[in-house]
Amino acid sequence: MNGEQQYWHHGRTAYHFQPAKNWMNDPNGPLYHNGVYHLFYQYNPHGPLFDTGRLSWGHSVSGDLVNWAFLGTALDPTSPFDADGCWSGSVTVLSDGRPIILYTGRDSNRVQVQNVAFPKNPSDPLLREWHKPSCNPVIPQPADVTGNNFRDPTTAWLGHDGQWRFAVAAEVEGVGSTLIYRSADFVHWKRNATPLHTSPDVPVWECPDLFPVAKHGTEGLDTSANGPGVWHVLKLSKAADEDYYVVGRYDDETDTFVPGDGNDVRNWRRVDHGHLFGAKSFFDARKNRRVLWAWVNETDNQSDDVAKGWTGIQAFPRALWLDSDGKQLVQWPVEEIETLRRKRVVLLGAVVASGGLHEIAGIETRQADVEVVFEMPNLEEAETFDPNWLQDPQKLCAEKDASVQGGVGPFGLIVMASGDMQEQTTIFFRLFKHDDAYKVLMCTDLTRSSTKEEAYKPVYGGFVDVDVAKDKCISLRTLIDHSVIESFGGGGRTCITARVYPEHAATGSSHLYVFNNGSDVVKVSKLEAWELGTASVNVEDDGLVALQSPLVVPMSPNRRNHHVE
């Protein structure tokens, strides 16, 4: 096996953010500042395995959100207030233009506290060195926090009174809480008497995010935006599990939040129905959009992580905005991905009969961007929906997988398929009749994604909140990148991210198909598939760490977003 094959054999991606080596988890403090994109992230500079006491903040910069240069670590556990790890946090740009890091440190007694750090040279466009002042911790752990759960401060925002605020996750007397702190100087903080949100059923939340969204339109808003026409999104991560969000009303006078779907997080929406955690957003002033990052960890075994020398990737950055229904977010890969597009193949007006399989050939599909619109001529063939299925779409996807014939569906894509089809991942839709409307189920099935017995091969699923009766069609976009597959259904209203480890991909080519296993035909009204080039992402010894100016960080042209509906 040659070097390139060994590289891909270990699942390394071509255009997703990942370290050249060692462990990475939560994204921290993403921002656009003075012409440069920055991404900080939880990083173990000493090896490829998770070690709470050795966590630092890795730091990479970019001009286009696609190509990244590694600048080393911004924070390391070197002080009494973070001696057992520099944990997750955020970066806020103050009114005078200075960025400040706010982060959780686990101190020498392993107690979680909140700290600040300032750039040593604020005029350095790459923000390479940071100073941790002796006033830390700026917020000791409160007496009513239980379980030592007090972490992950959000990006701060300015309230109507000119004071800064941030939210932080905490277990308060056994109740999962999101606390608000206020400060005039970012050093002296006072806790608000009432939590922003509490969840008695879940004692431990992580990685909160509170950000504004425009009631109408797709443009993002600065984190401090508020007032008429502005709603807010509260996102919480269930510890080592999933990310949930709700749209609601935030009042910065009382620091209260009223979620539109109620306080029970179990009724909130999922950021992603697949394998994704710790999502964190930032306002991109360069293109007036809100951009989401999220950690996607490995699902192979620990010995594989040690052998390849690195662990963890980030989902490809997504622009997000509020859907016209005012209840759900739309997520879409940032338009800069188009700069990687190479060869293209197109399929128009193809009819896929029941049991049909149509290969999309002519491009390398191990790193590809596929957009397709499926048309369903006869919705009346859809199966009857059982309301009990609403509680567990993942279980429904497993019971009614791609091999189980339905009326309208399953239909969709087969990706990362070996020549003998022994390895394959399916992304598909299935329609059901529900009262006088239809329910759309979206699934990603990994049960045959790899012949490795020890590989994690679940089935993921979620419902897509779209009105298919109106247009009789549904869209799907799928990003394929060796060991990660990200799918966006219904124009980005439902997202599913998966890690896959097909053994054939190390030495041979993969295949891409459109398929239909419903009893009725479906039509591919339009399919476009692009082979994607390989980005430069934290490549070791490439000379980029010596960057002196953001002008030499690769910049992509300002291109219009290509969005297939």
297-336 confidence digits (pLDDT tens): 999 888 888 988 999 999 999 999 999 999 999 999 999 9
Of 25-29, 273-277, 502-506, minimum mean pLDDT range: 502-506
Does residue 356 sit in the same domain as residue 406? yes
Tens of pLDDT, residue by residue over 212-241, are 999 999 999 999 999 999 999 999 999 777
- Strands (E) in 112-220, as ranges, are 112-119, 130-131, 145-151, 157-158, 164-172, 175-183, 190-191, 197-199, 205-214
Cβ atoms of 10 and 308 closer than 8 Å: yes
In this structure, are residues 411 and 517 in contact, taking their beta carbons and an 8 Å threshold? yes
DSSP string, 263-312: S-GGGSEES-SSS-EEEEEEEETTTTEEEEEEEE---S-HHHHHHHTEE-
pLDDT at 547: 41
Residues 6+ apart with CB under 8 A from 63: 35, 36, 37, 550, 553, 554, 555, 556
Residue 51, in any domain of the structure: yes
Residue 353 in domain: yes
Q: In the sheet where 56-62 sits, what is the strand order? A: 68-75, 56-62, 36-44, 22-33, 310-311
Q: Coil, strand, or helix at residue 5?
A: helix
Residue 562 located in a structural domain? no
Q: Which residues contact 276 (CB under 8 A, 6 or more apart)?
A: 243, 294, 295, 296, 315, 497
Asked if residue 247 and residue 304 are part of one domain, the reply reads yes
Do 293 and 382 belong to one domain?
no
Is residue 436 very low, low, confident or very high in pLDDT (cuts 50, 70, 90)?
confident
**Whether residue 272 sits in one domain with residue 349:** no
> Hunting for tokens 């879940």 — which residue is that?
202
Mean pLDDT of 247-254: 94
How far, in Å, are 88, 332, 482 from residue 93 at the CA level?
A: 17, 26, 36
Residue 300 pLDDT: 85
Per-residue pLDDT, 507: 82
Distance CA 442, CA 274 (A): 11
Q: Annotated catalytic, 26? A: yes
pLDDT at residue 10 in the model: 56
Report the C-alpha gap between 153 and 114 in whole angstroms: 8
The model's pLDDT over 378-389, given as tens digits with 9 standing for 90+, comes to: 999 999 999 999
Q: How far apart are CA 514 and CA 205, in angstroms?
A: 40
| Distance of alpha carbon 136 from alpha carbon 153, whole angstroms | 15
Catalytic residue among 26, 300, 323, 401: 26
The yes-or-no verdict on residue 186 having pLDDT over 50 is yes
pLDDT above 50: residue 5: no
**Alpha-carbon distance values, 545 to 45, 316, 540 (Å):** 16, 22, 9
- Quickly state the pLDDT bin for 200 (edges 50, 70, 90): confident
For residue 14, report the phi and psi dihedrals to the nearest 5 degrees: -100, -30
CATH number at residue 526: 2.60.120.560
Taking the whole predicted model, whether its pTM rises above 0.75 is answered as yes
Question: How much is the average pLDDT of 37-53?
Answer: 95
Residue 320 counted as domain residue:
no
Dist. CA 380–CA 437, nearest whole Å: 11
Would 266 be classed as within a structural domain? Answer: yes
pLDDT of 3? 40
The answer to whether residue 561 sits within a structural domain is no
Do 219 and 287 belong together in one domain? yes
Residues 306 and 357 in one domain: no
pLDDT recorded at residue 541: 54
Q: Structurally, how many domains does the chain consist of? A: 2
Q: Do 368 and 264 share a structural domain? A: no
pLDDT of 162 higher than 60? yes
Q: Are residues 516 and 368 in the same domain?
A: yes
> What domain range is 92 assigned to?
3-315
Distance (Å, rounded) from C-alpha 1 to C-alpha 66?
Answer: 29
CATH assignment of the domain containing 295? 2.115.10.20
Residues 299 and 378 in one domain: no
Q: Answer yes or no: is 548 within a domain.
A: no
329 within a domain of the structure (yes/no): no
pLDDT tens per residue across span 392-413: 999 999 999 999 999 999 999 9
